[in-house]
Amino acid sequence: MPRKKIEAPALIYVAQLLATATNDAKKLGNFQAKSYAKSSLCELYEITGQISEEKQSISRALSKLSRKNLTILK
């Protein structure tokens, strides 16, 4: 089944909502909600073909983890 084409204003609105959700979750200290919102934003980047933005977001997240001396299991 082909994907339904979504108009640009709708995508921009969704991206703004996800960015707001990410910031609100961060302010509240709810890291699970922040992670979920950022993951959804990365998925939106992937769907819309904005792979460079997705990679940048993932790189920032990984660098934050490494600064906190967390180990990522592969």
pLDDT (0 to 100) of residue 74? 46
Residue 2 φ then ψ, to 5°: -70, 150
At 56, the pLDDT band (50, 70, 90 cuts) reads confident
> Against a cut of 0.85, is the pTM above it?
no
pLDDT (0 to 100) of residue 60? 75
- Residue by residue, DSSP assigns 26-71 as HHHT-HHHHHHHHHHHHHHHHHTT-HHHHHHHHHHHHHHHHHTTPP
* pLDDT tens-place string over residues 1-54: 455 556 678 888 888 899 899 999 999 999 899 989 988 988 888 887 776 776
Ranges of each domain in the chain: 8-67
Whether 38 and 60 have beta carbons less than 8 Å apart is answered as no
What b/e string do you get for 46-57 counting C-beta neighbours within 10 Å, with b at 16 or more? eeeebeebbeeb
